Amino acid sequence: MGRLRYPLRRIIEGLITLFIVMTIIFLLFRVMPGDPLSIVIDPKMTPEVKEMIRHSYGLDQPMFVQYGIYLKNLLTLNLGESFRYSQPVSEVLAAKIPNTLLLFTSASVLSAVLGIILGRIIAWRRNSKLEYGLTLAGLFFYEMPIFWFGLILIYLFAFRLNLFPISGMIDFELWTLGATTGEKIIDILHHLILPLITLTTASFCGMMLLMRTSMVETMKEDYVEAAKARGLPDKVVRDSYAARNAELPVITAFILSLSASIGGGVLTEKIFSWPGIGYELYQATIGRDYPLAQGCFFILTLMTILAVIVIDISYAYLDPRVSYD
């Protein structure tokens, strides 16, 4: 019973957080300048008709009633109708979420693996030239504005070397004029490479430094010292004793980076015109497609909160050193 209480508490806390965030968003979208219906309402309509249309959107209700309807709609995932697509927001999002997940999951996996491998190496060789070099280089990429780096990569690899497509996720011509499924998969992967390289290069360093710190810590543990004392080869000690226990925080960071990168993905998606949620949010905001912008925001927040909860709960189960009351 005690084991179940903690996850339950976290989930309830998560729900409260979601509630707070959604309230903020509700207020935010209500103070936006201009009438949210200005796209729908014809200026030449008489006041009575405007009122009727307002009524059909529920905008003539008092604020708290609107708020209630809004919460109810969120609960039922009824996110309204997008102005731009003339299509339910949930449908638009359902089409975009896989694109975003494809890009950011693969990037997170790659950078986690790269980070773990490099982190192990530099932790083992502390204060070597290699450590300084890798840390500096990694940090340089880590602190780069990702859109700037993306532009440079597009310049080098797409423009100068002509290796990859410049933007988008698919070749429109290929898709609209008929292509086999195999060709389509290859086409998507081909478009994926450049944004993937950008994201991985920019984020492996976080993992690497974390792995290093975590590894340095575990290396001080008694059992690692003992293993060393027994005369086991360095590589074995490093990989089987030290590294294995150092991975926990890295895996955590991996899940967290997934959710964080999705939120911060607006810039990457914009540079590469990647048709994901971030790009959609950006465009919906610019085009004043409030229902869609609100929907994108809701999904992004939901993802972040879920990720945090998953981490906290798995931490409680997996790491005996962490105890929660």
Select the span of 1-9, 69-77, 230-238, 285-293 touching another protein (CB under 8 A): 285-293
Query: Residue 48's closest CA among 60, 38, 33, 34?
Result: 60
**What mask, x for binding another protein by CB under 8 A, covers residues 46 to 85?**
x-xxx-xx------------------------------xx
Q: CB-wise, 178 or 231, nearer to another protein? A: 178
320 binds another protein (CB under 8 A): no
Touching another protein, residues 135-154 (CB under 8 A): 135-136, 139-140, 142-149, 151-152, 154
Count the site residues for another protein by CB under 8 A: 113
Whole-number CA gyration radius for the chain? 25
Maximum CA extent, the chain:
89
Select the span of 61-69, 72-80, 232-240, 299-307 touching another protein (CB under 8 A): 299-307
For residue 37, give the DSSP letter: T
Cβ atoms 298, 93 nearer than 8 A: no
Select the span of 58-66, 69-77, 173-181, 229-237 touching another protein (CB under 8 A): 173-181
Ranges of H-type helices in the chain: 2-31, 47-56, 63-75, 89-124, 129-143, 146-153, 172-176, 181-219, 222-229, 234-236, 244-263, 265-271, 277-286, 290-318
104 binds another protein (CB under 8 A): no
Q: At closest approach, how far in Å is the CB of 104 from another protein?
A: 13
Among 65, 69, 193, 322, binds another protein (CB under 8 A): 193
Measuring CA to CA, how many Å separate 83 from each of 35, 272, 283? Answer: 13, 24, 12
User: H or E stretch including 81?
Assistant: strand 81-82
3-state secondary structure of 262: helix
304 binds another protein (CB under 8 A): yes
Q: CB-wise, 231 or 291, nearer to another protein? A: 291
Touching another protein, residues 5-44 (CB under 8 A): 13, 16-18, 20-21, 24-25, 28-29, 31-35, 38-44
189 binds another protein (CB under 8 A): yes
Contacts for 104 with CB less than 8 Å, ≥ 6 apart? 199, 258, 261, 262, 265
Q: At closest approach, how far in Å is the CB of 186 from another protein?
A: 5
Tell me the residue length of the chain: 325
